[in-house]
Structure 1
Amino acid sequence: MRVVSLVPSLTEAIAVTLPGGLAGATDWCERPAGLDVVRIGGTKNPDTARIAALAPDLVIANEEENRAPDLDALRAAGLAVLVTEVRTVPQALAELERVLRACGAASRPGWLDAAEAAWAAPPRPRRPLTAVVPVWRRPWMVLGRDTFAGDVLARLGVRHLYAAHAERYPRVPLDELNAADPDLVVLPDEPYRFTADDGPEAFPRPACALVSGRHLTWYGPSLAEAPQVLAGALAAALR
């Protein structure tokens, strides 16, 4: 089966499970390292004509990551498109199994079993924590309602303070973020690449946890190690 993936985390999942199964992937699909496939543009601006020319049996997409007009164009070209929806960890595990079976996997991969086991009893702090979670600056944007990353943090005992916001990724002024007085500010390295020199200086009072965006926002093989990696980063910030 020939597959094109428009979602970096799903690209990794497919490539690890079904070596050689991918015909194409986006420019942002950086894992696994050394992936040698045709590049078809970005997640938000894929080259639909180039994808059609690859004649894949299936295109893998995500309702948040990819734009509906691009997916409609692929369907109009006669291609089968599987669209995933991932807002929680259990949903991620179920969608990963669905995607891999659709791509021809004969059995459930071991890494998916390990991920399910890891999230069955993830590490939690001694007391519940609150956080704000910026995902962009200039302007500042944070996690809002109904996000996969928000669910990941909630399962690790961290409630982000904009979880009930009307928007999924609201723009919030910096002074309001600081006034919210969270226990933690969680700064992932994607989509905005927060670093020790770019982000923490904006938050003088709460502890800042620099975390791996792949472990916070990706749903793929990284799910197996995400609970321990993220819990370690959060604990280190509070020491």
Structure 2
Amino acid sequence: MKKVLIIEDENSIRGFLKINFKRNNFVVIEAESGEKGIEKARIENPIITILDIMLPGIDGFKTCEILRKEFPKMGIIMLTARSQDMDKIMGLEFGADDYMIKPFNPLELIARVNSLLRRIVVNDGEYENNLIVSGDYKIDDKAMKAYKGDKELELTPKEYILMKIFMENSGKALSRDELLNMVWGYNYIGDTKVVDVNVRRLREKIEENSSSPKVIETVWGVGYRWRKK
């Protein structure tokens, strides 16, 4: 059962999204404020949240931060009426996986949600080992879990696929455009700043000292490289 939580204070937009998600076989939960959205997330445990930035009470950034801490595997897409880079970057910093600028095409939003779902859905059955290993780091791709030593890393869906791509291409310099296409898709409408933000967040979770990274190296003028072990 695909549950989506829509946190949006404008009734018309919330209703419009509800219709489109129901047409695509989603169970829709609604909330008109960040506080109510957090309460409903705790009860309903949705797999995806669509979150407006401009909300009464606590804003979308704070709401995103709380949801990300409590639901590390939840997919979060933020909606903004502004096009400033700072809003996009702040949303990603607070834990969003993606963002869309109003007005937007609902078909594109559904497509992005479905793409995100493919990164999230986990089958709890028993599997044979299907591991990607690099030094102290390990990815169990069947369970979609990442580890540093014996400790499971709490990664967002985008951080997970980013780490997987790095490890699969260990020692290879990957440009920002390449990473953008591999993680967000060729139809992604946005700039490469989203790559930098997610690399920085991933470094904070896997590096001993994220300000002096030893695992994900910066390749100046190109992009990034996972240090080959």
Q: TM-score, normalised by structure 1?
A: 0.27
TM-score, normalised on structure 2? 0.28
Structure with the largest fraction of strand: 2
Q: Which has the higher contact order (CA 8 A, sep 6+)?
A: 1
Q: Radius of gyration: which is bigger?
A: 1
